[in-house]
Structure 1
Amino acid sequence: MKMSDKERLRELAQFLKTRRARLSPEQAGLPAGGRRRTPGLRRGEVAQLAGVSVDWYTWMEQARDIGISAQVLDSLSRALRLDEPERRHLYLLALGQLPGRRETGIPGVDPALQRFLDLQGASPAYVTDQRLNVVAWNRAASLLYGPYEELSDRERNSLWRTFTSPAVKALLRGKWEAHARHRLAVFRAGYANYPGDPWWVALIEELTRISPEFAAWWPRHDVLAGPEGKKINHHAAAGRLAFVQISFLVSDAAHLTATVNLPDDEETADRMRGLLEADGEAR
Protein backbone atom coordinates (compact mmCIF):
# COMPACT_ATOMS: atom_id res chain seq x y z
CA MET A 1 0.00 0.00 0.00
CA LYS A 2 1.32 3.40 -0.95
CA MET A 3 2.26 5.62 1.98
CA SER A 4 -0.19 8.52 2.43
CA ASP A 5 1.12 12.07 2.33
CA LYS A 6 0.50 12.49 6.08
CA GLU A 7 2.39 9.30 6.87
CA ARG A 8 5.21 10.31 4.55
CA LEU A 9 5.56 13.71 6.24
CA ARG A 10 5.51 12.10 9.70
CA GLU A 11 8.24 9.70 8.58
CA LEU A 12 10.23 12.66 7.22
CA ALA A 13 9.89 14.53 10.51
CA GLN A 14 11.07 11.53 12.53
CA PHE A 15 13.92 10.84 10.14
CA LEU A 16 15.19 14.42 10.45
CA LYS A 17 14.97 14.27 14.24
CA THR A 18 16.98 11.06 14.44
CA ARG A 19 19.67 12.35 12.05
CA ARG A 20 19.89 15.61 14.02
CA ALA A 21 20.14 13.77 17.34
CA ARG A 22 23.06 11.60 16.29
CA LEU A 23 25.26 14.52 15.15
CA SER A 24 27.34 16.45 17.68
CA PRO A 25 28.21 20.12 17.21
CA GLU A 26 31.88 19.17 16.86
CA GLN A 27 31.06 16.74 14.06
CA ALA A 28 29.11 19.47 12.29
CA GLY A 29 31.97 21.97 12.67
CA LEU A 30 30.23 24.04 15.36
CA PRO A 31 31.46 25.01 18.84
CA ALA A 32 30.26 22.66 21.56
CA GLY A 33 28.45 25.41 23.47
CA GLY A 34 28.43 23.75 26.90
CA ARG A 35 26.17 21.04 28.26
CA ARG A 36 22.95 20.17 26.45
CA ARG A 37 19.74 18.67 27.77
CA THR A 38 19.37 16.46 24.69
CA PRO A 39 22.02 14.94 22.44
CA GLY A 40 22.78 16.19 18.98
CA LEU A 41 22.25 19.47 17.17
CA ARG A 42 19.56 22.01 17.92
CA ARG A 43 17.02 22.87 15.24
CA GLY A 44 18.51 26.33 14.89
CA GLU A 45 21.94 24.86 14.26
CA VAL A 46 20.66 22.59 11.50
CA ALA A 47 18.85 25.55 9.95
CA GLN A 48 22.03 27.61 10.13
CA LEU A 49 24.12 24.89 8.49
CA ALA A 50 21.53 24.31 5.75
CA GLY A 51 20.94 28.00 5.07
CA VAL A 52 17.20 27.97 5.85
CA SER A 53 15.11 29.75 8.47
CA VAL A 54 14.58 28.16 11.89
CA ASP A 55 10.80 28.39 11.45
CA TRP A 56 10.95 26.62 8.09
CA TYR A 57 13.08 23.77 9.43
CA THR A 58 10.86 23.50 12.52
CA TRP A 59 7.82 23.09 10.26
CA MET A 60 9.56 20.16 8.56
CA GLU A 61 10.06 18.44 11.93
CA GLN A 62 6.41 19.17 12.73
CA ALA A 63 5.36 17.24 9.59
CA ARG A 64 3.79 20.29 7.97
CA ASP A 65 3.09 20.21 4.24
CA ILE A 66 5.45 22.90 2.94
CA GLY A 67 7.21 23.39 -0.38
CA ILE A 68 10.65 21.75 -0.45
CA SER A 69 13.16 22.09 -3.28
CA ALA A 70 15.89 19.69 -4.31
CA GLN A 71 18.48 22.37 -3.53
CA VAL A 72 17.25 22.63 0.07
CA LEU A 73 17.27 18.85 0.45
CA ASP A 74 20.87 18.71 -0.72
CA SER A 75 21.75 21.45 1.77
CA LEU A 76 20.09 19.46 4.54
CA SER A 77 21.94 16.33 3.40
CA ARG A 78 25.25 18.13 3.78
CA ALA A 79 24.28 19.73 7.08
CA LEU A 80 23.22 16.39 8.58
CA ARG A 81 26.16 14.48 7.05
CA LEU A 82 23.87 12.01 5.27
CA ASP A 83 25.40 9.24 3.21
CA GLU A 84 24.02 8.38 -0.24
CA PRO A 85 21.36 5.84 0.90
CA GLU A 86 20.16 8.34 3.54
CA ARG A 87 20.08 11.13 0.94
CA ARG A 88 17.89 9.00 -1.32
CA HIS A 89 15.63 8.19 1.61
CA LEU A 90 15.32 11.91 2.41
CA TYR A 91 14.26 12.64 -1.17
CA LEU A 92 11.70 9.86 -1.20
CA LEU A 93 10.14 11.08 2.04
CA ALA A 94 10.21 14.78 1.11
CA LEU A 95 9.37 14.65 -2.62
CA GLY A 96 8.25 11.12 -3.33
CA GLN A 97 11.08 10.65 -5.84
CA LEU A 98 14.75 9.80 -5.99
CA PRO A 99 17.36 12.56 -6.36
CA GLY A 100 19.27 13.20 -9.54
CA ARG A 101 22.69 11.66 -9.81
CA ARG A 102 25.54 13.56 -8.26
CA GLU A 103 27.97 14.90 -10.84
CA THR A 104 31.42 13.40 -10.86
CA GLY A 105 34.55 15.41 -11.53
CA ILE A 106 36.72 13.89 -14.25
CA PRO A 107 40.41 14.83 -14.03
CA GLY A 108 41.15 12.24 -16.72
CA VAL A 109 40.08 8.86 -18.01
CA ASP A 110 41.51 5.48 -17.14
CA PRO A 111 44.56 4.63 -19.30
CA ALA A 112 42.87 1.39 -20.36
CA LEU A 113 39.92 3.37 -21.72
CA GLN A 114 42.24 5.68 -23.65
CA ARG A 115 44.01 2.61 -25.06
CA PHE A 116 40.63 1.25 -26.16
CA LEU A 117 39.97 4.48 -28.06
CA ASP A 118 43.41 4.43 -29.68
CA LEU A 119 42.93 0.82 -30.80
CA GLN A 120 39.88 1.83 -32.86
CA GLY A 121 42.32 3.10 -35.49
CA ALA A 122 40.40 4.52 -38.47
CA SER A 123 37.14 4.59 -36.48
CA PRO A 124 36.69 8.01 -34.83
CA ALA A 125 36.01 7.33 -31.15
CA TYR A 126 35.54 9.53 -28.11
CA VAL A 127 34.19 9.58 -24.55
CA THR A 128 31.65 12.07 -23.22
CA ASP A 129 30.64 12.81 -19.65
CA GLN A 130 27.14 13.48 -18.32
CA ARG A 131 27.33 17.11 -19.55
CA LEU A 132 28.23 15.98 -23.11
CA ASN A 133 31.80 17.22 -22.68
CA VAL A 134 34.27 15.26 -24.79
CA VAL A 135 36.82 14.11 -22.20
CA ALA A 136 38.86 11.63 -24.26
CA TRP A 137 39.30 10.85 -27.97
CA ASN A 138 41.48 9.06 -30.47
CA ARG A 139 43.46 10.60 -33.32
CA ALA A 140 40.82 9.76 -35.92
CA ALA A 141 38.18 11.71 -33.96
CA SER A 142 40.47 14.71 -33.59
CA LEU A 143 41.23 14.76 -37.34
CA LEU A 144 37.58 14.47 -38.30
CA TYR A 145 35.74 16.54 -35.71
CA GLY A 146 38.38 19.11 -34.81
CA PRO A 147 41.58 19.35 -32.75
CA TYR A 148 40.15 18.52 -29.32
CA GLU A 149 43.56 18.97 -27.72
CA GLU A 150 43.54 22.64 -28.83
CA LEU A 151 39.95 23.43 -27.84
CA SER A 152 38.78 25.10 -24.65
CA ASP A 153 36.60 23.24 -22.15
CA ARG A 154 33.52 25.00 -23.50
CA GLU A 155 34.43 24.17 -27.10
CA ARG A 156 34.82 20.50 -26.18
CA ASN A 157 31.17 20.43 -25.08
CA SER A 158 29.46 18.71 -27.99
CA LEU A 159 26.15 20.56 -27.52
CA TRP A 160 27.91 23.92 -27.51
CA ARG A 161 29.93 23.08 -30.64
CA THR A 162 26.86 21.76 -32.44
CA PHE A 163 24.99 25.06 -32.06
CA THR A 164 27.91 27.50 -32.37
CA SER A 165 30.57 26.01 -34.68
CA PRO A 166 30.44 26.69 -38.45
CA ALA A 167 32.82 23.75 -38.87
CA VAL A 168 30.22 21.36 -37.47
CA LYS A 169 27.57 22.68 -39.86
CA ALA A 170 30.00 22.29 -42.78
CA LEU A 171 30.84 18.73 -41.72
CA LEU A 172 27.15 17.76 -41.59
CA ARG A 173 25.85 19.90 -44.47
CA GLY A 174 22.13 19.25 -44.94
CA LYS A 175 21.99 16.84 -41.98
CA TRP A 176 22.91 19.45 -39.37
CA GLU A 177 19.36 20.01 -38.09
CA ALA A 178 18.74 16.29 -37.46
CA HIS A 179 22.07 16.03 -35.64
CA ALA A 180 21.43 19.19 -33.60
CA ARG A 181 17.96 18.04 -32.55
CA HIS A 182 19.39 14.67 -31.51
CA ARG A 183 22.16 16.27 -29.45
CA LEU A 184 19.65 18.60 -27.81
CA ALA A 185 17.27 15.74 -26.97
CA VAL A 186 20.09 13.73 -25.38
CA PHE A 187 21.16 16.80 -23.40
CA ARG A 188 17.55 17.42 -22.28
CA ALA A 189 17.28 13.83 -21.04
CA GLY A 190 20.49 14.27 -19.06
CA TYR A 191 19.34 17.58 -17.60
CA ALA A 192 16.52 15.77 -15.80
CA ASN A 193 19.17 14.40 -13.43
CA TYR A 194 20.44 17.90 -12.52
CA PRO A 195 17.46 20.31 -12.61
CA GLY A 196 18.49 23.78 -11.49
CA ASP A 197 22.21 22.96 -11.43
CA PRO A 198 24.12 26.22 -12.08
CA TRP A 199 26.40 24.78 -14.79
CA TRP A 200 23.51 23.39 -16.82
CA VAL A 201 21.38 26.51 -16.34
CA ALA A 202 24.23 28.80 -17.46
CA LEU A 203 24.81 26.79 -20.66
CA ILE A 204 21.09 26.70 -21.45
CA GLU A 205 20.73 30.45 -20.92
CA GLU A 206 23.79 31.24 -23.05
CA LEU A 207 22.72 29.01 -25.94
CA THR A 208 19.19 30.41 -25.76
CA ARG A 209 20.66 33.88 -26.15
CA ILE A 210 23.02 33.20 -29.06
CA SER A 211 21.32 30.39 -31.03
CA PRO A 212 17.85 30.96 -32.52
CA GLU A 213 17.53 27.22 -33.22
CA PHE A 214 18.32 26.28 -29.64
CA ALA A 215 15.89 28.93 -28.35
CA ALA A 216 13.15 27.51 -30.58
CA TRP A 217 13.74 23.83 -29.87
CA TRP A 218 14.59 23.79 -26.14
CA PRO A 219 10.99 24.50 -24.98
CA ARG A 220 9.76 21.43 -26.90
CA HIS A 221 11.16 19.06 -24.24
CA ASP A 222 12.22 16.40 -26.75
CA VAL A 223 14.20 13.61 -25.03
CA LEU A 224 16.29 10.81 -26.50
CA ALA A 225 18.98 8.37 -25.45
CA GLY A 226 21.42 6.43 -27.54
CA PRO A 227 23.50 6.96 -30.70
CA GLU A 228 22.41 8.50 -33.99
CA GLY A 229 22.91 5.36 -36.08
CA LYS A 230 24.16 6.05 -39.60
CA LYS A 231 25.97 9.35 -40.11
CA ILE A 232 27.29 11.12 -43.22
CA ASN A 233 30.14 13.60 -42.79
CA HIS A 234 31.81 15.81 -45.38
CA HIS A 235 35.48 16.41 -44.60
CA ALA A 236 37.34 19.18 -46.43
CA ALA A 237 40.23 16.86 -47.38
CA ALA A 238 38.77 13.36 -47.24
CA GLY A 239 35.39 14.07 -48.81
CA ARG A 240 32.22 12.10 -48.07
CA LEU A 241 32.48 9.73 -45.10
CA ALA A 242 29.78 7.28 -43.98
CA PHE A 243 29.71 5.87 -40.45
CA VAL A 244 27.55 3.70 -38.23
CA GLN A 245 27.63 5.02 -34.68
CA ILE A 246 27.51 2.84 -31.57
CA SER A 247 27.57 4.07 -27.95
CA PHE A 248 27.76 2.36 -24.58
CA LEU A 249 28.26 3.23 -20.93
CA VAL A 250 31.71 2.57 -19.52
CA SER A 251 31.24 -0.34 -17.13
CA ASP A 252 33.39 0.98 -14.27
CA ALA A 253 32.49 4.65 -14.82
CA ALA A 254 28.76 4.87 -15.51
CA HIS A 255 28.93 8.66 -15.85
CA LEU A 256 30.95 8.21 -19.06
CA THR A 257 29.71 7.19 -22.51
CA ALA A 258 32.03 5.80 -25.16
CA THR A 259 31.06 6.38 -28.80
CA VAL A 260 32.67 4.67 -31.79
CA ASN A 261 31.97 5.69 -35.40
CA LEU A 262 32.56 2.61 -37.56
CA PRO A 263 33.23 3.21 -41.29
CA ASP A 264 30.13 2.01 -43.13
CA ASP A 265 31.98 1.10 -46.31
CA GLU A 266 35.50 0.35 -47.46
CA GLU A 267 35.81 3.71 -49.20
CA THR A 268 35.27 5.52 -45.88
CA ALA A 269 37.75 3.24 -44.14
CA ASP A 270 40.37 3.94 -46.85
CA ARG A 271 39.80 7.70 -46.62
CA MET A 272 40.13 7.67 -42.83
CA ARG A 273 43.34 5.65 -43.08
CA GLY A 274 44.60 8.22 -45.59
CA LEU A 275 43.88 11.04 -43.15
CA LEU A 276 45.82 9.24 -40.41
CA GLU A 277 48.76 8.51 -42.71
CA ALA A 278 48.93 12.12 -43.92
CA ASP A 279 48.82 13.37 -40.34
CA GLY A 280 51.63 11.00 -39.37
CA GLU A 281 53.81 12.22 -42.24
CA ALA A 282 53.17 15.85 -41.28
CA ARG A 283 54.32 15.34 -37.71
Structure 2
Amino acid sequence: MDTRSEIREFLTSRRSKITPQQAGLISYGARRVPGLRRAEVAQLAGISVEYYSRLERGDLSGVSGQVLDALARALRLNDDDRTHLDDLARAAGPARGRRRADPQTVRPGIQRLLDSLTGPALVMNGRTDLLAANALGRALLAPVIDAARGATPNHARFLFLDPRANQFWGDWERAADETVALLHAQAGRDPYDRTLTDLVGELSTRDETFRTRWARHDIRQHHQGAKPLHHPLVGELHLTYEPLELAADNLTLIAYDAQPGSDSEDKLRLLASWTIDNGHEQPRQTARRPADPN
Protein backbone atom coordinates (compact mmCIF):
# COMPACT_ATOMS: atom_id res chain seq x y z
CA MET A 1 0.00 0.00 0.00
CA ASP A 2 1.10 3.57 -0.71
CA THR A 3 0.97 5.20 2.73
CA ARG A 4 0.93 8.76 1.36
CA SER A 5 -1.98 7.97 -0.94
CA GLU A 6 -3.84 6.26 1.88
CA ILE A 7 -3.39 9.28 4.15
CA ARG A 8 -4.44 11.70 1.42
CA GLU A 9 -7.55 9.77 0.44
CA PHE A 10 -8.55 9.04 4.02
CA LEU A 11 -8.39 12.68 5.15
CA THR A 12 -10.09 13.88 1.98
CA SER A 13 -12.90 11.36 2.38
CA ARG A 14 -13.45 12.34 6.01
CA ARG A 15 -13.71 16.09 5.37
CA SER A 16 -16.07 15.46 2.44
CA LYS A 17 -18.57 13.91 4.87
CA ILE A 18 -18.92 17.03 7.06
CA THR A 19 -20.93 20.07 6.01
CA PRO A 20 -20.06 23.56 7.26
CA GLN A 21 -23.41 23.63 9.05
CA GLN A 22 -22.55 20.44 10.94
CA ALA A 23 -19.23 21.98 11.93
CA GLY A 24 -20.89 25.20 13.09
CA LEU A 25 -19.36 27.31 10.31
CA ILE A 26 -20.96 29.88 8.05
CA SER A 27 -20.74 28.87 4.40
CA TYR A 28 -20.04 31.47 1.72
CA GLY A 29 -20.43 30.90 -2.00
CA ALA A 30 -21.04 27.80 -4.09
CA ARG A 31 -18.99 24.67 -3.47
CA ARG A 32 -17.65 22.49 -6.24
CA VAL A 33 -17.26 19.50 -3.91
CA PRO A 34 -19.25 18.48 -0.82
CA GLY A 35 -17.96 18.86 2.68
CA LEU A 36 -15.43 21.14 4.29
CA ARG A 37 -12.68 23.04 2.54
CA ARG A 38 -9.09 22.59 3.64
CA ALA A 39 -9.05 26.06 5.17
CA GLU A 40 -12.11 25.19 7.26
CA VAL A 41 -10.53 22.00 8.58
CA ALA A 42 -7.40 23.96 9.46
CA GLN A 43 -9.53 26.56 11.25
CA LEU A 44 -11.37 23.90 13.26
CA ALA A 45 -8.12 22.13 14.14
CA GLY A 46 -6.31 25.34 15.09
CA ILE A 47 -3.46 24.86 12.62
CA SER A 48 -2.36 26.78 9.55
CA VAL A 49 -3.82 26.04 6.13
CA GLU A 50 -0.31 25.35 4.83
CA TYR A 51 0.33 22.78 7.55
CA TYR A 52 -3.00 21.02 7.04
CA SER A 53 -2.42 20.98 3.28
CA ARG A 54 0.90 19.25 3.91
CA LEU A 55 -0.81 16.66 6.08
CA GLU A 56 -3.52 16.01 3.51
CA ARG A 57 -0.91 15.56 0.80
CA GLY A 58 0.09 12.46 2.77
CA ASP A 59 2.90 13.72 4.97
CA LEU A 60 2.14 12.75 8.57
CA SER A 61 5.80 12.25 9.47
CA GLY A 62 6.63 13.86 12.79
CA VAL A 63 3.06 14.92 13.53
CA SER A 64 2.36 15.25 17.24
CA GLY A 65 -0.36 13.53 19.20
CA GLN A 66 -1.82 16.96 19.95
CA VAL A 67 -2.25 17.69 16.25
CA LEU A 68 -3.78 14.25 15.68
CA ASP A 69 -6.23 14.97 18.49
CA ALA A 70 -7.14 18.29 16.90
CA LEU A 71 -7.63 16.64 13.49
CA ALA A 72 -9.80 13.94 15.03
CA ARG A 73 -12.04 16.58 16.61
CA ALA A 74 -12.21 18.72 13.47
CA LEU A 75 -13.06 15.77 11.24
CA ARG A 76 -15.34 14.16 13.83
CA LEU A 77 -13.53 10.86 13.65
CA ASN A 78 -15.04 7.92 15.48
CA ASP A 79 -12.88 5.58 17.55
CA ASP A 80 -12.14 3.27 14.60
CA ASP A 81 -11.19 6.21 12.37
CA ARG A 82 -8.93 7.65 15.06
CA THR A 83 -7.15 4.32 15.50
CA HIS A 84 -6.60 4.23 11.75
CA LEU A 85 -5.22 7.78 11.75
CA ASP A 86 -2.75 6.80 14.49
CA ASP A 87 -1.73 3.74 12.46
CA LEU A 88 -1.14 5.88 9.37
CA ALA A 89 0.94 8.35 11.38
CA ARG A 90 3.11 5.51 12.71
CA ALA A 91 3.49 4.10 9.20
CA ALA A 92 4.64 7.52 7.97
CA GLY A 93 7.18 7.98 10.75
CA PRO A 94 10.91 7.71 9.93
CA ALA A 95 11.46 5.11 12.66
CA ARG A 96 8.73 2.85 11.33
CA GLY A 97 10.03 -0.70 11.02
CA ARG A 98 8.62 -3.43 8.91
CA ARG A 99 5.82 -5.13 10.84
CA ARG A 100 6.21 -8.82 11.55
CA ALA A 101 4.21 -10.72 8.94
CA ASP A 102 0.98 -12.29 10.10
CA PRO A 103 1.43 -16.04 10.53
CA GLN A 104 -0.14 -18.48 8.10
CA THR A 105 -0.65 -21.13 10.78
CA VAL A 106 -1.66 -21.07 14.42
CA ARG A 107 0.23 -22.38 17.41
CA PRO A 108 -0.91 -25.72 18.89
CA GLY A 109 -2.00 -23.93 22.04
CA ILE A 110 -4.41 -21.75 20.10
CA GLN A 111 -5.86 -24.80 18.36
CA ARG A 112 -6.37 -26.46 21.75
CA LEU A 113 -8.16 -23.32 22.93
CA LEU A 114 -10.43 -23.44 19.89
CA ASP A 115 -11.19 -27.12 20.45
CA SER A 116 -12.10 -26.48 24.08
CA LEU A 117 -14.91 -24.10 23.09
CA THR A 118 -18.38 -25.59 22.72
CA GLY A 119 -19.63 -23.07 20.19
CA PRO A 120 -18.30 -22.35 16.69
CA ALA A 121 -14.96 -20.58 16.83
CA LEU A 122 -12.26 -19.62 14.35
CA VAL A 123 -9.03 -17.67 14.04
CA MET A 124 -8.44 -15.08 11.32
CA ASN A 125 -5.61 -12.74 10.42
CA GLY A 126 -6.00 -9.14 9.30
CA ARG A 127 -6.42 -10.19 5.66
CA THR A 128 -9.50 -12.27 6.67
CA ASP A 129 -7.69 -15.55 6.03
CA LEU A 130 -9.38 -18.34 7.97
CA LEU A 131 -6.37 -20.03 9.58
CA ALA A 132 -7.98 -22.40 12.08
CA ALA A 133 -11.32 -23.41 13.55
CA ASN A 134 -12.84 -25.97 15.84
CA ALA A 135 -15.05 -28.75 14.44
CA LEU A 136 -18.26 -26.75 14.77
CA GLY A 137 -16.59 -23.69 13.29
CA ARG A 138 -15.56 -25.72 10.24
CA ALA A 139 -19.10 -27.04 9.94
CA LEU A 140 -20.58 -23.55 10.22
CA LEU A 141 -18.26 -22.08 7.59
CA ALA A 142 -18.22 -25.12 5.30
CA PRO A 143 -19.16 -23.06 2.19
CA VAL A 144 -16.23 -20.68 2.77
CA ILE A 145 -13.82 -23.56 3.31
CA ASP A 146 -15.11 -25.55 0.34
CA ALA A 147 -14.77 -22.54 -1.95
CA ALA A 148 -11.02 -22.38 -1.23
CA ARG A 149 -10.50 -25.83 -2.82
CA GLY A 150 -7.70 -26.75 -0.46
CA ALA A 151 -6.05 -23.31 -0.33
CA THR A 152 -6.28 -21.06 2.72
CA PRO A 153 -9.93 -19.92 2.93
CA ASN A 154 -10.34 -16.16 2.74
CA HIS A 155 -13.55 -14.51 3.92
CA ALA A 156 -13.24 -11.46 1.66
CA ARG A 157 -12.49 -13.49 -1.45
CA PHE A 158 -15.50 -15.75 -0.80
CA LEU A 159 -17.75 -12.79 -0.03
CA PHE A 160 -17.03 -10.89 -3.24
CA LEU A 161 -16.12 -13.57 -5.77
CA ASP A 162 -18.26 -16.61 -4.93
CA PRO A 163 -21.94 -16.42 -6.00
CA ARG A 164 -22.94 -18.57 -3.02
CA ALA A 165 -21.99 -15.76 -0.63
CA ASN A 166 -25.15 -13.79 -1.37
CA GLN A 167 -27.27 -16.63 -0.06
CA PHE A 168 -24.95 -17.72 2.75
CA TRP A 169 -24.69 -14.29 4.42
CA GLY A 170 -28.17 -13.17 5.43
CA ASP A 171 -27.21 -9.49 5.23
CA TRP A 172 -24.67 -9.48 2.42
CA GLU A 173 -24.51 -5.68 2.11
CA ARG A 174 -23.57 -5.19 5.73
CA ALA A 175 -21.09 -8.07 5.63
CA ALA A 176 -19.49 -6.53 2.53
CA ASP A 177 -19.24 -3.06 4.10
CA GLU A 178 -17.71 -4.41 7.31
CA THR A 179 -15.24 -6.66 5.51
CA VAL A 180 -13.85 -3.89 3.31
CA ALA A 181 -13.60 -1.59 6.33
CA LEU A 182 -11.64 -4.29 8.19
CA LEU A 183 -9.23 -4.65 5.26
CA HIS A 184 -8.74 -0.86 5.17
CA ALA A 185 -7.91 -0.89 8.88
CA GLN A 186 -5.38 -3.66 8.27
CA ALA A 187 -3.81 -1.66 5.44
CA GLY A 188 -3.23 1.17 7.91
CA ARG A 189 -1.66 -1.16 10.46
CA ASP A 190 0.63 -2.82 7.93
CA PRO A 191 1.00 -0.94 4.62
CA TYR A 192 3.95 -3.19 3.70
CA ASP A 193 1.87 -6.37 3.59
CA ARG A 194 2.33 -7.48 -0.02
CA THR A 195 -0.19 -10.30 0.32
CA LEU A 196 -2.84 -7.82 1.42
CA THR A 197 -1.96 -5.51 -1.48
CA ASP A 198 -2.33 -8.42 -3.89
CA LEU A 199 -5.70 -9.38 -2.37
CA VAL A 200 -7.04 -5.84 -2.64
CA GLY A 201 -5.78 -5.62 -6.22
CA GLU A 202 -7.44 -8.91 -7.12
CA LEU A 203 -10.79 -7.96 -5.60
CA SER A 204 -10.69 -4.45 -7.08
CA THR A 205 -10.03 -5.85 -10.53
CA ARG A 206 -12.63 -8.58 -10.42
CA ASP A 207 -15.51 -6.99 -8.50
CA GLU A 208 -16.94 -3.51 -8.94
CA THR A 209 -18.85 -3.61 -5.65
CA PHE A 210 -15.57 -4.14 -3.79
CA ARG A 211 -13.87 -1.38 -5.77
CA THR A 212 -16.68 1.06 -4.92
CA ARG A 213 -16.54 0.24 -1.23
CA TRP A 214 -12.75 0.46 -1.10
CA ALA A 215 -12.91 4.01 -2.48
CA ARG A 216 -15.06 5.11 0.48
CA HIS A 217 -12.17 4.59 2.93
CA ASP A 218 -14.51 3.43 5.69
CA ILE A 219 -12.68 1.93 8.67
CA ARG A 220 -13.72 -0.75 11.10
CA GLN A 221 -11.84 -2.50 13.87
CA HIS A 222 -13.03 -5.84 15.27
CA HIS A 223 -16.15 -5.43 17.44
CA GLN A 224 -18.78 -7.76 18.79
CA GLY A 225 -21.96 -7.99 16.75
CA ALA A 226 -24.59 -10.19 15.14
CA LYS A 227 -24.55 -12.18 11.92
CA PRO A 228 -27.53 -13.73 10.17
CA LEU A 229 -26.64 -16.49 7.75
CA HIS A 230 -28.29 -19.25 5.75
CA HIS A 231 -26.46 -22.53 6.26
CA PRO A 232 -26.94 -25.09 3.46
CA LEU A 233 -27.75 -27.84 5.97
CA VAL A 234 -29.67 -26.26 8.83
CA GLY A 235 -31.10 -23.13 7.21
CA GLU A 236 -31.44 -19.71 8.84
CA LEU A 237 -29.17 -18.91 11.77
CA HIS A 238 -29.01 -15.72 13.81
CA LEU A 239 -25.74 -15.67 15.73
CA THR A 240 -23.81 -13.21 17.83
CA TYR A 241 -20.02 -13.10 17.81
CA GLU A 242 -17.26 -11.90 20.09
CA PRO A 243 -13.72 -11.16 18.84
CA LEU A 244 -10.70 -11.79 21.03
CA GLU A 245 -7.43 -10.22 19.91
CA LEU A 246 -4.46 -12.59 20.13
CA ALA A 247 -1.94 -9.77 20.35
CA ALA A 248 1.15 -11.95 20.51
CA ASP A 249 0.23 -13.55 17.18
CA ASN A 250 -1.38 -10.62 15.31
CA LEU A 251 -4.52 -12.76 15.03
CA THR A 252 -8.16 -12.58 16.09
CA LEU A 253 -10.20 -15.39 17.62
CA ILE A 254 -13.91 -15.09 16.83
CA ALA A 255 -16.44 -17.08 18.86
CA TYR A 256 -20.06 -17.45 17.74
CA ASP A 257 -23.09 -18.07 19.93
CA ALA A 258 -26.87 -18.29 19.66
CA GLN A 259 -29.51 -16.86 21.96
CA PRO A 260 -30.36 -19.48 24.61
CA GLY A 261 -33.62 -21.23 23.88
CA SER A 262 -33.74 -19.95 20.30
CA ASP A 263 -34.30 -21.86 17.09
CA SER A 264 -30.72 -20.98 16.13
CA GLU A 265 -29.41 -22.69 19.28
CA ASP A 266 -31.31 -25.86 18.34
CA LYS A 267 -29.85 -25.73 14.83
CA LEU A 268 -26.32 -25.32 16.18
CA ARG A 269 -26.86 -28.42 18.30
CA LEU A 270 -28.03 -30.27 15.20
CA LEU A 271 -24.97 -29.10 13.29
CA ALA A 272 -22.76 -30.19 16.21
CA SER A 273 -24.31 -33.65 16.17
CA TRP A 274 -23.36 -34.01 12.51
CA THR A 275 -19.74 -33.14 13.27
CA ILE A 276 -19.65 -35.85 15.96
CA ASP A 277 -21.36 -38.42 13.74
CA ASN A 278 -18.85 -37.71 10.98
CA GLY A 279 -15.76 -37.99 13.16
CA HIS A 280 -15.28 -34.21 13.44
CA GLU A 281 -15.30 -33.85 9.67
CA GLN A 282 -17.13 -30.86 8.28
CA PRO A 283 -20.47 -31.85 6.70
CA ARG A 284 -20.51 -31.76 2.93
CA GLN A 285 -22.94 -29.41 1.23
CA THR A 286 -24.32 -32.35 -0.72
CA ALA A 287 -25.45 -34.05 2.47
CA ARG A 288 -29.12 -34.73 2.76
CA ARG A 289 -30.94 -32.37 5.08
CA PRO A 290 -33.02 -34.24 7.67
CA ALA A 291 -36.46 -33.15 8.70
CA ASP A 292 -36.63 -30.22 11.08
CA PRO A 293 -36.84 -31.69 14.57
CA ASN A 294 -39.15 -28.84 15.57
**What TM-score do the two structures reach when normalised by structure 2?**
0.58
Matches within 5 A, 1:151-162: 151-152=148-149, 156-162=153-159
Deviation, 1:276, is: 1.9
How many angstroms apart in 2 are the aligned matches of 1:94 and 1:128?
23
Report the AA paired with residue 263 of structure 1: A
State which of 190, 214, 223 in structure 1 corresponds to 2:186.
190
Do structure 1's residue 271 and structure 2's residue 267 form an aligned pair?
yes
CA 202–186 in structure 1, closer or farther in 2 if over 3 Å, else same: same
CA 133–94 in structure 1, closer or farther in 2 if over 3 Å, else same: closer
Deviation, 1:282, is: 3.7
Match in the other structure for 2:132:
136
Q: Which aligned segments of 4 or more residues in structure 1 are displaced greater than 6 angstroms?
A: none
Deviation, 1:176, is: 0.3
CA 133–110 in structure 1, closer or farther in 2 if over 3 Å, else same: same
Do structure 1's residue 119 and structure 2's residue 111 form an aligned pair?
no
CA 94–130 in structure 1, closer or farther in 2 if over 3 Å, else same: closer
Partner secondary structure for residue 178 of structure 2: helix
More RCO (CA 8 Å, sep 6+): 2
Q: Is the 8 A contact 2:204 2:211 kept in 1?
A: yes
How many angstroms apart in 2 are the aligned matches of 1:187 and 1:251?
18
Q: Deviations over 1:102-141 (max 9, x none)?
A: 13352532222112211222x2211111322111111112
Matches within 5 A, 1:193-212: 193-195=189-191, 197-212=193-208
Report the AA paired with residue 170 of structure 1: Q
How many angstroms apart in 2 are the aligned matches of 1:195 and 1:209?
19
CA 149–96 in structure 1, closer or farther in 2 if over 3 Å, else same: closer
Q: Is the 8 A contact 1:163 1:214 kept in 2?
A: yes
Question: What is the aligned-residue RMSD (CA, Å)?
Answer: 3.0
Deviation, 1:153, is: 7.2
Report the AA paired with residue 102 of structure 1: R
How many angstroms apart in 2 are the aligned matches of 1:164 and 1:250?
28
How many angstroms apart in 2 are the aligned matches of 1:262 and 1:153?
27
Q: Is the 8 A contact 1:100 1:194 kept in 2?
A: no
How many residues end up aligned between the 2 structures?
192
Match in the other structure for 2:254:
259
Report the AA paired with residue 163 of structure 1: F
How many angstroms apart in 1 are the aligned matches of 2:278 and 2:239?
26
How many angstroms apart in 1 are the aligned matches of 2:180 and 2:208?
13
Q: Look at both structures and tell me which one has the larger radius of gyration over its CA atoms.
A: 1
CA 124–166 in structure 1, closer or farther in 2 if over 3 Å, else same: farther
State which of 175, 178, 181 in structure 1 corresponds to 2:177.
181
CA 218–149 in structure 1, closer or farther in 2 if over 3 Å, else same: closer
Q: Deviations over 1:136-168 (max 9, x none)?
A: 111112111126766357651221111112232
CA 269–100 in structure 1, closer or farther in 2 if over 3 Å, else same: farther
Report the AA paired with residue 140 of structure 2: L
State which of 100, 103, 120 in structure 2 corresponds to 1:103.
100
Percent identity of equivalent pairs:
25
How many angstroms apart in 2 are the aligned matches of 1:280 and 1:94?
47
CA 265–155 in structure 1, closer or farther in 2 if over 3 Å, else same: same
**What TM-score do the two structures reach when normalised by structure 1?**
0.60
Q: Is the 8 A contact 1:185 1:223 kept in 2?
A: yes
Match in the other structure for 1:215:
211
Q: Is the 8 A contact 1:101 1:193 kept in 2?
A: no
